Amino acid sequence: MKKTLLAALLSITATSAMAEMDHSKMDHSKMDHGSMNHESMDHSNMNHDDMDHSMMSMEGMSDVGMPATGAKPDKVVHVVLADDMTIKFKKEVQIEPNDVVQFVVMNVGKIDHEFTIGSAKEQLEHREMMKKMSHHMHDSGNAVTVKPGKAKQLIWHFHGDSKVEFACNIPGHAEAGMIKKVSL
């Protein structure tokens, strides 16, 4: 009887000691976070200042979303870039917030064109940067430059600002009207 009582008492003491432990100095990097139930956790008093925000500066990140390379798209949109300085969708499609969209971008013209996704402010900044570049061939997370008669693809996850601009920011092209605006 004494052994059973002693075992129960030790079990209760160890359990309450573990519950009251200070976990703030633990090395959490070795924990298996995949099996945790994050919905039941209280994140309201977390200090976000020390968190790693490196994803926030990922190439192509935008106010309107982010690259989704390798993701399964919800929709496929065929984009036509032409020398009459237009960006057209072959079929009009309704893009919704949180959609992952695969853009198949075709240049049917005789000169290079670019397809960039961003907010109006980001497009203007990109346009100014392009004016300073000696060559305009570059692909990034939110942009592809397409040679005449060629096609490229871009997969994008829309979240954030609902006012989206698609533009060709090769100098003079957007100024000539090569911008398509949509609201999600």
How far is CA 184 from each of CA 87, 89, 110, rounded to the nearest angstrom?
A: 18, 15, 32
Instruction: Kindly report, residue by residue over 127-152, the tens digit of the pLDDT.
Output: 998 888 877 677 888 999 999 999 99
Helix H, strand E, coil C: the string for 8-63 is HHHHHHHHHHHHCCCCCCCCHHHCCHHHCCHHHCCCCCCCHHHCCCHHHHCCCCEC
pLDDT confidence of residue 133: 80
Indicate yes or no: pTM above 0.85: no
Instruction: Kindly report, residue by residue over 84-129, the tens digit of the pLDDT.
Output: 999 999 998 999 999 999 999 999 999 999 999 999 999 999 999 8
Q: Does residue 60 contact residue 147 with C-beta atoms inside 8 Å?
A: no
